[in-house]
Structure 1
Amino acid sequence: MNVAVLVLDSVTKLPREADGAVVVGGSHGAVYAAHLSAKAGVRAAIHHDAGIGLDEAGVSGLGYAESLGMAMVALATESCRIGDGRDQYERGLVSRVNAPAALCGVTIGMTCRDAVELLKAAHWPHRPPAPKGEDRHLVGDIVCVDSASLLLPEDKDRVVATGSHAALNSGHATAPARPRLIFFNDAGPGIDDGGILGLSVLEEAGVAGVAVAARSARIGDGRSTLQDGTISAFNHTAYRLGARAGRSALALARAVAEKAGRKEREEHREWPSST
């Protein structure tokens, strides 16, 4: 059977060629990313387990995919870098498998390369997913997005909490948006500190970047990053804003947002005209 294999750093914008293909995507294995793979019609998806984390959010997409009849596999954060599809393909080891993938013969501990070959036989097409609900929310003055790909131009200079990991590709993708402060999940952070490598990219762009521990917040859930997250890593720009290991993301976000709000009000204050 001639089945295409795509190796990509992210599944946020899958090409048309993903329809019917086996996709090795650098994204986490939570529901949001699984939905994107299913929506694109992939035959089978191989994602990263993102350290599994709170409520096993990093692999929660496997059950979601199974409900659609789509084979899905997660790779261990100790074996390959999140956000790096090529590294996952070359070094990744399977940590979780859903039932449709198991029917293809994929087992825990198997290499990603071997899993790809077996998943070419996965049942396809599967049921299309139902439309997904709102993935962008405001908590006070703080923007919460389930994926950093949902950032908008108006998020410039705002405090943003994302459900994304902080790998290199996340850093490159979010730096141009120039938020005042942005939060991610550290995804483990895994081998080579893959889940937080993007913080240095943000530092070079002068953007304050923070990661919260995967065990403290659900990856793929921006509101959980904000409300549940405990800071585990940060860049120098974020340190100057008050980021410290062990501090709650919510406390830092509120402090920075309130300070920015006061400054903005002072700059726009209307002084009484002299008579």
Structure 2
Amino acid sequence: MPDPDGPVLADSVTRLGPDAAGRVVVSGSHGGTYATWLACRSGCRAVILHDAGVGLDEAGIGGLAWLERLGLAAAAVDHASAPIGQAERMLDRGRISHANAQAAACGLRPGMPCREAARRLAAAPERHGPCPEVAEARDVLHLPAARRPLVLIDSASLVRPEDEGAVIVTGSHGALFGTDPRNALKVDARLALFNDAGGGPGTGRLAPLEQRGIAAATVAANSARIGDARSSWQDGVVSAANRPARDLGARPGLPASDLVARFLDM
């Protein structure tokens, strides 16, 4: 049973509900801008996210500074200390790697256990007022000569039923959040591309998607900005791929743009 005095746990920040208002949240989502916007919108007092390997342009913690400007305490857990997408394991095993000014004022420091950090953040001042809007990070491209659409979504939560059979490039991490394999992707894509969030658990969606016959791959976190689908497409370098993707040419080191082009033509 959840501790009413403890933090709200959410394997994905997209799953936060009304109970997050005024509370400390520990979420398995990365610390990029879109995820932190969702945290802000929940009305939480403070939030601890995952640093996703930090990655290109420090995108894995980019939202911490954005929340700092809004006056909301935020921190990130070191990807080497706990898996992304698993809030309970972050709380039990995670160690803080980064904290914004408001979180640091509550005593958070690198190396601090996540549970202790969450306890301290309960004293963070509550933020009031509206959260600035962030435009829906979704674009559907119909490229010349392509046989199927290219769907660019900064969060896999933005998948729609009409994306069935498309090439879907996300800015989301490739870890399976929670334990339900259906969380891997809401539709059957021709190809699904994710960010590996520093490797390891960051490729966890690939196996369940393989079981559904869906080609899927990840790009290395240091090659593309997590939370930015266009960066995954244009900058990303493949780090891992499941069998359906490998059978059609996916391999580590391949530019993601080349892989996407192959699947758009199929």
**Which one of 175, 192, 197 corresponds to residue 182 of structure 1?**
192
2:160 counterpart letter in structure 1: L
- Corresponding position: 1:25 with 2:27: yes
1:93 paired residue number: 95
1:124 counterpart letter in structure 2: E
1:230 paired residue number: 237
2:226 counterpart letter in structure 1: I
RMSD: 1.4
Deviations 1:133-156 (A, max 9, x none): 130012433110000000001111
Give the Å deviation of 1:128: 2.9
**In structure 1, C-alpha distance between the alignment counterparts of 2:41 and 2:116, rounded to whole Å:** 25
1:221 paired residue number: 228
Per the normalisation by structure 2, the TM-score is: 0.93
2:246 paired residue number: 239
Deviations 1:56-87 (A, max 9, x none): 00000100110110000000010000000011
Give the Å deviation of 1:254: 1.1
**In structure 1, C-alpha distance between the alignment counterparts of 2:39 and 2:45, rounded to whole Å:** 9
1:63 counterpart letter in structure 2: A
1:145 counterpart letter in structure 2: I
2:38 paired residue number: 36
**In structure 1, C-alpha distance between the alignment counterparts of 2:37 and 2:79, rounded to whole Å:** 21
Q: Secondary structure at the match of 2:140?
A: strand
2:108 paired residue number: 106
**Which one of 64, 79, 82 corresponds to residue 80 of structure 1?**
82
- Corresponding position: 1:146 with 2:154: yes
Q: Secondary structure at the match of 2:76?
A: strand
2:60 paired residue number: 58
1:205 counterpart letter in structure 2: R
Per the normalisation by structure 1, the TM-score is: 0.90
Number of residues paired by the alignment?
255
Q: Secondary structure at the match of 2:40?
A: helix
**In structure 1, C-alpha distance between the alignment counterparts of 2:130 and 2:228, rounded to whole Å:** 22
Identity among equivalent positions (%) equals 45
Do the aligned partners of 2:28 and 2:177 also contact (CA within 8 Å) in 1? no
The unaligned stretches of length 5 or more in structure 1 are: 260-275
Give the Å deviation of 1:258: 1.6
**In structure 2, C-alpha distance between the alignment counterparts of 1:79 and 1:241, rounded to whole Å:** 34
Give the Å deviation of 1:13: 2.5
- Corresponding position: 1:255 with 2:262: yes
2:174 counterpart letter in structure 1: A
Do the aligned partners of 2:108 and 2:117 also contact (CA within 8 Å) in 1? yes
Q: Secondary structure at the match of 1:7?
A: strand
Give the Å deviation of 1:176: 4.1
Give the Å deviation of 1:3: 5.2
2:192 counterpart letter in structure 1: I
Give the Å deviation of 1:172: 3.0
1:32 counterpart letter in structure 2: Y
1:273 paired residue number: none
**In structure 1, C-alpha distance between the alignment counterparts of 2:176 and 2:184, rounded to whole Å:** 10
The structure richer in helix per residue is 1
Give the Å deviation of 1:4: 4.9
**Which one of 158, 167, 187 corresponds to residue 159 of structure 1?**
167
**In structure 1, C-alpha distance between the alignment counterparts of 2:127 and 2:225, rounded to whole Å:** 30
Q: 1:91 to 1:4 in 2, by over 3 A?
A: closer
1:124 paired residue number: 126
**In structure 1, C-alpha distance between the alignment counterparts of 2:217 and 2:12, rounded to whole Å:** 20
2:168 counterpart letter in structure 1: V
- Corresponding position: 1:203 with 2:205: no
Do the aligned partners of 1:73 and 1:94 also contact (CA within 8 Å) in 2? yes
Do the aligned partners of 1:69 and 1:127 also contact (CA within 8 Å) in 2? no
1:269 paired residue number: none
1:172 paired residue number: 182
Larger Rg: 1
